[in-house]
């Protein structure tokens, strides 16, 4: 199951060390619902290697605004507090895996 990032835990959970994959989404967003199973699968596959989770933009406006999220789904890959990759829109599991593996390798 994907980690739930919030305004309250984002600093500690996503920015402090290691690789984090953050999916900005909303329940009413059709493309977001297409990405959800991929995020959930990858969260299990990368457990212990990367923190993979979701930010509900309706409930967490502060972090969404801070990162300029205007379209969803938006996926940020963060390594050691810095954004190393950003993807807007739907994405295949293999394409997202490639981005995560690149972040982990560098």
Q: Is 37 a catalytic residue?
A: no
Query: 3-105 maps to which CATH number?
Result: 3.40.30.10
pLDDT digits (tens, 9 = 90+) for 30-43: 999 999 999 999 99
Q: Which residue has the tokens 């190393």?
A: 84
81-91 pLDDT, tens digit per residue, is: 999 999 999 99
Candidate list 2, 19, 22, 32, residue with the active-site label = 32
Is the bond leading into 47 cis (omega within 30 degrees of zero)? no
- DSSP-derived 3-state class of residue 106: coil
Listed by start position, the domains of the chain span: 3-105
Q: Out of 29, 84, 88, 104, pick the active-site residue.
A: 29
pLDDT band at 1 (very low <50, low <70, confident <90, very high): confident
60 in active site? no
pTM for the predicted model, two decimal places: 0.96
Distance separating the N- and C-terminal Cα atoms of the chain: 26
């Amino acid at each position: 199951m994907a980690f739930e990032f919030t305004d309250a835990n984002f600093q500690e959970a996503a920015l402090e060390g290691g690789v984090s994959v953050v999916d900005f989404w909303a329940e009413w967003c059709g493309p977001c619902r297409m990405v959800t199973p991929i995020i959930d699968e990858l969260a299990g596959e990368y457990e212990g290697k990367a923190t993979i989770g979701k930010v509900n933009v309706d409930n967490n406006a502060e972090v969404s605004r801070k990162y300029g999220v205007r379209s969803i789904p938006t996926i940020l890959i963060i390594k050691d507090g810095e954004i190393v990759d950003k993807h807007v829109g739907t994405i295949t599991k293999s394409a997202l895996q490639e981005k995560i593996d690149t972040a982990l390798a560098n």
